[in-house]
Amino acid sequence: MIVKSVAMQAYQNALKTHQNAEHGLASGVNNAQKPAGGFMDAMKGSLDKVNSMQQEKNSLVESFAAGKDHNVHELMISLQKAGLAMSMTSAVRNKILASYQELTKMQF
């Protein structure tokens, strides 16, 4: 799954950043190093992949409807992939919004 791999990559990047920050504080060195690929980059990459799946699905549907392509199996697989990717994207969006709402409710 695309979203799962992107989420794992974002988690691993955050973990490395945290470990580097801990190591820098322990040794007394201030590392002002920008992390390689943050959450925003991971989300943008994931959304680009979902968008390309949707475009591929649309082109396959159009070619099937026009009678150019008769490969129903490929069409159905593309439809399922695009639908699942969109469902996962909305689930991630809903979780992010719920987290944001929880953060706004917190008192400092």
Residue 28's pLDDT is: 46
Residue 4's pLDDT is: 59
Map out the domains of the chain as residue ranges.
2-105
Q: Taking the model in full, what pTM does it have?
A: 0.59
Cα distances from 72 to residues 50, 75, 78, 83, in angstroms, run 21, 5, 10, 16
Over the stretch 23-71, which tens digit does the pLDDT of each residue have? Answer: 665 444 444 555 567 888 988 999 999 999 999 999 999 999 999 988 8
Element (H, E) at 63: helix 39-65
* Closest among 105, 1, 106 to 49, alpha carbons compared: 1
The fraction of the chain above a pLDDT of 70, given in percent, is 77
Higher pLDDT, 3 or 98: 98
Average pLDDT of 76-81?
93
Average pLDDT of 71-95?
93
